[in-house]
Amino acid sequence: MEEFCPGFTSKIIGYDALSPLDLERIFGMHQGSIHHGALALHQLGPARPAPGWSNYRSPLKGLYLVGAGAHPGGGVMGAAGRNGAMVALSDLKLV
């Protein structure tokens, strides 16, 4: 980092390193997975988070599944939130 941002390391005042076990214990993330489930073929697309639940709607009217456990998975892309918001807007006939 110093090569591209001289003086960067002198600005660091602390850090927090968390293991997958820490993530599970502190935040309740199963096995410390930020993706809330395996990003494997058996849990992608129409099978995420579970078969029959991939359209972002939950059994409770007005409750949508839009987190890391929803299609297309976790990370910082926000795609599940955007997709779920579009479904909610459609259900409300706003798009």
pLDDT computed for residue 76 by the predictor: 72
Q: Contact 64/75 with Cβ under 8 angstroms?
A: no
Residue range 41-57, pLDDT digits in tens: 888 888 888 888 889 99
- Band the pLDDT of 92: cuts 50, 70, 90: very high
Residue with tokens 């090569």, as numbered in its chain: 3
Between these two residues, 73 and 83, which has the higher pLDDT value? 83
Q: Which amino acid is at 12?
A: I
User: Mean pLDDT over residues 15-34, rounded?
Assistant: 87
Between these two residues, 71 and 35, which has the higher pLDDT value? 71
Q: How far is Cα 42 from Cα 56, in angstroms, rounded to an integer?
A: 18
Q: The dihedral of CA 26, 64, 53, 90: what is its sign?
A: negative
Q: The dihedral of CA 18, 19, 20, 24: what is its sign?
A: negative
User: Mean pLDDT over residues 1-13, rounded?
Assistant: 93
Between these two residues, 50 and 22, which has the higher pLDDT value? 22
Residue 67 in tokens: 């987190």
